[in-house]
Chains A and B, each alone.
Chain A
């Protein structure tokens, strides 16, 4: 007995929503003819130019963060500071409560990621390996909501949160972002690629469904869990609109909100603004470099961000 959907339309819909080549591992292309030397040189020149285009803003950001304010805008452009103003990286911590912002961002990102991965993979097991009435209808509802822009229902959410007294608490954003349909969808797409024989065999061996999930499916889908965790972490860390709407007091602010507010208040402190920007990006750079293949795999599978 295979556990495919009772409604073929559900799988078709899920397939249509997932990018067509979902689940394929992106590889360096090992096939096809080698490029001719002239074309190869041209390609490298093009790629170098594009890399420059990507890196110039980052380079400018780091370079400006090490300048005095009046050196940031100069004619001609100073790519390397004449004098490295390292003190920017010391002073910023006292200019704005950056440490609090970082702590808040970290707390929200970790909590939301944990809940999203846990409830998402748990629900995905129900949607892919169990068979019961109403399952497929429910899954279609999940998928459909992914296409609805958040702006379409953020006002009722806000009213609910206001009535529950949760506006201006971290809990509001945790609740809003931890139970998204995205995690369920991403994990289900992975779980569908695991042969049902595996869970069938475990059932025959007397394992109950919860243990099958914990002992067999979870260990098998570690890359998927990593993808979901990283995508959720980064999108929570970078989220602006949610915290912007819900957090009014300064001590709840995330790095993004804090940075934006700093820019609004001291718009001539160019160097310090860049210092704050660099610091806000560093955690993401670390997370990204540690797990970049999971990011790219996660996107290639789901086609969605968190």
Chain B
């Protein structure tokens, strides 16, 4: 040990040492990296290739260029699924963000029982999705469900048929998903709110700003990085929605709630049309990518 102590500060930057260091460094990363490379990186790369192939489980893969994409663009199910996914995202993204921000603002106060309320709001998020979907499905029961009984009680003449009708099944799914996800993003907003220096608000008080002005001129601008982050995460999550829809409506009634993930599952795993389903996967990936890049751009411009 004495020898090591005298030698260490000299630290000869020899090539052998760097190589040893790299070897040790890689040995740390390797156990995870092998699994990650084989099961994530390689499939990701392969998805790009398979999308240009005609491939099912019975015949060998064959290069077909853009055929899968042409077929996809001419397929009605694809457009319906794309439209429904966009519908879901258009409802889920803003509502979840508003609810999460509202909860965070309410729970960033100096009150008793704060811990209890935060835990409560977070709770739906960790509950198993199947249980959530099953319960809400029953709550939404058009004739006997508590929700419609409540609506009739407050005077709604003809309450919606929710998951049994094509017009109302997507709203039902969106309501359930907002209820489930808001507590999760609330935690992110809370972290953002607590990072705002208290001095800003004190200075605003001195200048005589009211609560509304403080909110618009301090809270909202200070939260911009958090909002940006939440927006990206909610967007990605929205576009890949699957479980909730499969359990609540299974894409129905008809194709009223069929989403892209489900279409990929049906074409790829059920029908074994690997090439065609990979083309849809690629389309989904590109949509998410474009949204993310656009949001990054907008965020950058606002920063400058």
Contact = CB atoms under 8 A, between A and B. Distances in A.
B65 interface: no
B239 to A, nearest CB: 6
15 contacts: A20-B225, A21-B194, A57-B179, A60-B146, A149-B239, A149-B285, A152-B288, A153-B40, A154-B268, A159-B274, A180-B36, A203-B8, A205-B4, A255-B130, A260-B247
A108 interface: no
B122 A296 contact: yes
Q: Is the interface of B mostly helix, strand, loop or mixed?
A: helix
Nearest to B137: A263
A240 B129 contact: yes
A270 interface: yes
Contacts of A184: 32, 36
A154 B264 contact: yes
A133 B187 contact: no
B111 A43 contact: yes
Nearest to B183: A54
Central interface residue in B18, B22, B106, B110, by most chain A CB within 10 Å? B110
B5 interface: yes
Interface of B: 1, 4-5, 8-9, 11, 18, 21-22, 24-29, 31-36, 39-44, 46-47, 50, 57, 103, 106-111, 114-115, 117-124, 126-132, 134-136, 138-139, 141, 143-146, 149, 179, 183-184, 187-188, 190-192, 194-195, 198, 201, 225-226, 229-230, 232-233, 236, 239-240, 242-243, 246-247, 260-261, 264-265, 268-269, 274, 277-278, 281-282, 284-285, 288, 292
Given A73-B145, A277-B130, A57 B120 contact: no
A303 B26 CA distance: 27
Contact of B35 (A32, A178, A204, A206): A178
A141 B45 CA distance: 12
A26 B194 contact: yes
Contact of A284 (B35, B127, B134): B127
A131 B42 contact: no
A102 B239 CA distance: 30
Contacts of B268: 154-155, 158
A55 interface: yes
Central interface residue in A181, A245, A303, by most chain B CB within 10 Å? A303
Central interface residue in A134, A241, A273, by most chain B CB within 10 Å? A241
Q: Is the interface of A mostly helix, strand, loop or mixed?
A: helix
A280 interface: yes
A215 interface: no
Nearest to A123: B32
B199 to A, nearest CB: 10
Nearest to B223: A20
B25 A131 contact: yes
A19 B191 contact: yes
Contacts of B109: 29, 35, 43
Nearest to B152: A75
B286 to A, nearest CB: 9
A152 B51 CA distance: 11
A51 interface: yes
Contact of A274 (B40, B123, B135): B135
Interface of A: 1, 16-17, 19-22, 24, 26-32, 34-35, 40, 43-44, 46-47, 50-51, 53-58, 60-61, 64, 72-77, 118-120, 122-123, 125-127, 130-135, 138, 141-142, 145, 147-160, 162, 175-176, 178-181, 183-184, 203-206, 208-209, 213, 234, 237-238, 240-241, 244-245, 255-256, 259-260, 263, 270, 273-274, 277-278, 280-281, 284, 288, 292, 295-296, 299-300, 303-305
Given A135-B25, A175-B35, A206-B1, A157 B43 contact: yes
Contacts of B149: 75-77
B285 A240 contact: no
Given A153-B47, A153-B281, A175 B39 contact: yes
Nearest to A237: B128
B5 to A, nearest CB: 6
Contacts of B117: 47, 50-51
B1 A155 contact: no
A77 B153 CA distance: 11
A149 B1 contact: no
Contacts of B136: 57
A154 B33 CA distance: 18
A206 B261 CA distance: 53
Contact of A35 (B1, B110, B190): B110
